[in-house]
Structure formats: structure tokens, C-alpha cells
Amino acid sequence: MAFSLPDFPWDSLEPLKKQAAGHQEGLIDLSVGSPVDDTPVIAQEALSRAGNAPSYPLTAGTPELRAAIATWWERRRNTGPLESAHVIPTIGSKEMVGLLPTILGLRSGDVVVIPEIAYPTYAIGAHLIGATVVASDNPEDWPTNTSLIWMNSPSNPTGSVASIATLRSAVARARELSAVLASDECYAELSWTLDAVPSLLDREVTGGDLTGLVALYSTSKQSNLAGYRAGIMAGDPELIDRILQVRKHLGLIPPAPIQASLAAVLGDDEHVARQKERYRARRDVLLPAVLAAGFRVDHSEAGLYLWATRGESALESVEWCASRGILVTPGYFYGEAGAGHVRIALTATDGHIAQAATRFSG
């Protein structure tokens, strides 16, 4: 089957990046959202200890890792008791977002539902197999031939959070459709205006029934492990087993030293709390400056971004920021519904965040 993919969106920012880099005080990149703080020592030490790895690793993860994953979901996401059959490690979370339609055996004619404002890879994964993409946040509008539904809470880019009631409604509709419901929860530990971010797998959502449900999480943001590509998945054990069998055939295996590091960070909440406070401090500096510059910040109650608008096109706002040496992401990268917003990342050093605040409000 022949197919073509759209250009990688961030490549189109190169001219604006060059413009921003021409600022007399240099470029401050608040576009991609790549972590800049050190990887925790606990991860580095575990990586070093596991560095002698001559044998093939287990696709399912070591017993120690699967126990750590299950315990993490129970402790941090209120799933109730999980067993090894409920969980699996992934090579980061993006590869699972992109490949899940393929792994589940979807094909041309199937429908994949994604959020109206969405991380582009949800759609790319569907396009790769010729499936039809429907962007809708309303379960009543999800087509009867839907095979896979993506939710994303906290949202990238908006930072909005789905409530328990919203998640229950999605579960009920997905089961009416006999569709798989997948939730991308990679920013769940970074809530700002809420006490917590509910998981799709929360007992208050599922009542203990995980049928048809899977959820993803990544340590890239909470633990500065983006370079390790260390993610986790949990959910319906029948779905997890289907996913595992395909991954075995394709060789989609986290390396053994990475598995050891992942198990280590999942068992340590202290470094996660410290990193969250770093981001909170940066948000407290940047948010008032963005508001002072005439932006309105919508949602953004969780996650690593400010979802902001000046009541103009996203491109105009990106150009305004570039003229001040700041690169941000236009909201239309995430769908037509984002065309009036920009995404401003908190993932920069304290010094760069302080400089950006001065440029925004000056």
C-alpha cells in the first residue's frame, strides 16, 4: 500500500528559529519541550550497574521491572492491584503512540478517533495503515466503525485534564463500539492547579474492569529520561498480551540497561517531586510575563506548556515571539482547532526562563 506522510511539523520552524537566533542576546527555544535538567543519579547508577548486558533482553521486561511497573501504576495512578500480565515496558511512549494501530491489526477502513487538538503522532499512526482519522472529543460523535480511540490527559499541547466523569463516559462509549480506548498520560505527574490527574485506569473510572483499556506513561518528563527512551504501558491483560506478541516478532525491546534504570526510577518518588518543583518555579516566573505581554493562557492546569493566545493567528504570535529571540510552537501543528494559539514550553534552564520572562514582559 502506497502512502505519503506530511512533513515533520517542526522542520517548518527553521526560518523562524533562525530569526529568533538572530536576537542580540541569542535564542531561547521554548518550542519542542525537551528536558534540560540532569538525569537522576539513581537512573545513571542503575544504568552503569547493568552495563554488562551480553544477552538479548526480555521484550516483556525483567520480572523486577514488570513488578516495578505494576507497583507504580497502583501507587501513583490508583489502579488497584495489578499483575505482571497487566503491564509492559515500551521504547519511550511515542513509538507506541505511532505503532499501536499497526500492532492492533487495524487496516484501511477502520476509524481511529483522536482529540480535536492533538499531538500529531496519533494521526500519523493511523495514516500509516490507511485508517480514517476522526478528530472528536464528544463520545456521542464517535462513529460506529471506530476501532481505536485516543485520549490524552493532561493534554499536549493544551494542558487540559479529563475528569473522572469524562473518562467514565469515554469508557462506556468505547465499549458500546467494541473499540480499544487508549490513554496517553505522559504528563500526569505535573499538575499545577489540580490536586491530581485521574488515570483512565483509576478504580473510580473502571470499577476494576480494564477490558478494552490501555494507558501509556513516560519517564521522559518526570525523570529527565528522554534520552533513555523509557516508557510503560498498563491495561487489559488480553490487549497487553496481543501487544507483547507483536513486539516479540518485531524486536521492539527496551535494552537491558534501560530496563534496569526504568525499574529504579519507578521506585523513587523523591526525585520526581524535586523535578516537579523545578517546573513549578519556572511556570511561576513565565506565566505572569506571558500574561503581561497580552496573551491569554487557556487550560494549562497540568503538563509542561502554556497554551496561549493573543487573539491573532498562531503564526503572527510565533513571529512576535521570534522577534524577541524566543521560539514557540504554533497551535496549528495540533489541528485546525489550535490555529489561534501557541504552545510555550517550560523546559528551559532557570536562566533562560528568567530571560524569556524579561523579553515577554519588556
* Single residue among 235, 267, 299 that ends a domain in this structure: 267
Q: Are residues 227 and 315 in the same domain?
A: no
Nearest to 161 by CA among 124, 199, 123: 199
Instruction: Identify whether 49 is part of a domain.
Output: yes
Nearest to 230 by CA among 61, 349, 75, 71: 61
Instruction: Identify whether 85 is part of a domain.
Output: yes
pLDDT value of position 239: 98
Q: Are residues 254 and 198 in the same domain?
A: yes
pLDDT value of position 256: 98
Residues 103, 95: Cα–Cα separation, whole Å: 11
Residue 289 pLDDT exceeds 90: yes
* Single residue among 246, 267, 288 that ends a domain in this structure: 267
Residues 77, 87: Cα–Cα separation, whole Å: 13
Q: Are residues 232 and 354 in the same domain?
A: no
Instruction: Report pLDDT digits (tens) over 71-110.
Output: 999 999 999 999 999 999 999 999 999 999 999 999 998 9
Instruction: Report pLDDT digits (tens) over 138-166.
Output: 999 999 999 999 999 999 999 999 999 99
| Distance, CA of 76 to chain centre | 17
For residues 355 and 25, the answer to whether their CB atoms sit within 8 Å is: yes
Q: Are residues 30 and 118 in the same domain?
A: no
pLDDT band at 1 (very low <50, low <70, confident <90, very high): very low
pLDDT value of position 220: 96
Q: Are residues 119 and 190 in the same domain?
A: yes
Domain of 332, CATH number, reads 3.90.1150.10
pLDDT value of position 157: 97
Instruction: Identify whether 34 is part of a domain.
Output: yes
pLDDT value of position 13: 87
Instruction: Identify whether 2 is part of a domain.
Output: no
* Single residue among 267, 299, 321 that ends a domain in this structure: 267
User: Looking at the DSSP assignment, which residues form a beta bridge with residue 135?
Assistant: 114
Residues 321, 359: Cα–Cα separation, whole Å: 9
Please give the mean pLDDT across all residues of the chain: 95
Q: Stretch 201-209: mean pLDDT, rounded? A: 97
Residue 315 pLDDT exceeds 70: yes
Instruction: Identify whether 3 is part of a domain.
Output: no
Q: Stretch 285-289: mean pLDDT, rounded? A: 98
How many residues can be counted in the chain? Answer: 362
Q: Are residues 33 and 45 in the same domain?
A: no
pLDDT value of position 3: 57
Between residues 362 and 355, which one has the greater pLDDT?
Answer: 355
Quote the cell numbers at residue 262: 526504568
Q: Are residues 111 and 127 in the same domain?
A: yes
Q: Are residues 255 and 321 in the same domain?
A: no
Three-state secondary structure readout of the chain: CCCCCCCCHHHHHHHHHHHHHCCCCCCEECCCCCCCCCCCHHHHHHHHHCCCCCCCCCCCCCHHHHHHHHHHHHHHHCCCCCCHHHEEEEECCHHHHHHHHHHCCCCCCCEEEECCCCCCHHHHHHHHCCCEEEECCCHHHCCCCEEEEEEECCCCCCCCCCCHHHHHHHHHHHHHHCCEEEEECCCCCCECCCCCCCCCCCHHHHCCCCCCEEEEEEHHHHCCCHHHCEEEEEECHHHHHHHHHHHHHHCCCCCHHHHHHHHHHHCCCHHHHHHHHHHHHHHHHHHHHHHHCCCEEECCCECCEEEEECCCCHHHHHHHHHCCCEECEEHHHHCHHHCCCEEEECCCCHHHHHHHHHHHHC
- Please give the single-letter amino acid code of residue 234: A
Say what the alpha-carbon torsion angle 260, 264, 267, 272 is, to the nearest 10 degrees.
Answer: -130
Quote the cell numbers at residue 259: 530496563
260's CB contacts (< 8 A; 6+ apart) are: 46, 47, 49, 50, 62, 65
Instruction: Give the range of the structural domain holding residue 305, as residue numbers without chain letter.
Output: 9-38+271-361
Phi, psi of 134 (to 5 degrees): -120, 120
Q: Are residues 261 and 281 in the same domain?
A: no
Q: Are residues 218 and 134 in the same domain?
A: yes
pTM, two decimal places: 0.95
Domain of 169, CATH number, reads 3.40.640.10
Q: Are residues 93 and 194 in the same domain?
A: yes
Domain count, the chain: 2
Task: Kindly report the number of other CB atoms within 10 A of residue 97's CB atom.
Answer: 24
Instruction: Report pLDDT digits (tens) over 316-353.
Output: 999 999 999 999 999 999 999 999 999 999 999 999 99
Q: Are residues 176 and 256 in the same domain?
A: yes
Residue 10 pLDDT exceeds 80: no
Instruction: Identify whether 4 is part of a domain.
Output: no
Nearest to 338 by CA among 16, 114, 8: 114
